[in-house]
Amino acid sequence: MKQRCLNPKSTSFKNYGGRGITVCDRWLKFENFLSDMGERPAGKTLDRKEVDKNYEPSNCKWSTEAEQDVHRRKRARIEQFTTTELIEELIKGNYILNFLKKRKDLK
């Protein structure tokens, strides 16, 4: 979280810090983050409820990867496509295949 938001050398910086996503001052100390969020539950990672807002207590929760897929930025961009453009984009990016690979509950 801190690397992707605060370190311009991070490969993820362009998608986080480069877009203005920050970490609240309180969470710059791990003890405060831990106090607010608790230990990471098994099978979950830190997730922002609103992808264009910052890492802060009111905007974060622990989520599974499948739960996070529901509101990724890619999904938000999908709304601007026509059906044909959407299908072409999904095929080109292997999005459907990658999504299905992540879904362990689908057989």
Would the pTM of this model clear 0.75, i.e. be above it?
A: no
Q: What is the separation, in whole angstroms, between the first and last Cα of the chain?
A: 32
Beta-strand pair 60-63/45-48: antiparallel
Structure tokens at 79: 């709304």
pLDDT in tens, 63-104: 988 888 766 655 545 555 566 666 666 666 666 666 666 666
Closest CA to 61 of 96, 37, 80: 37
Show me where the domains of the chain are located.
1-64, 72-107
Closest CA to 73 of 2, 21, 25, 22: 21
What's the rounded Cα separation, in Å, for the pair 27 and 107?
39
* pLDDT confidence of residue 76: 47
pLDDT in tens, 36-74: 999 999 999 999 998 889 999 999 999 988 888 766 655
Confidence of residue 22 (pLDDT cuts 50, 70, 90): very high
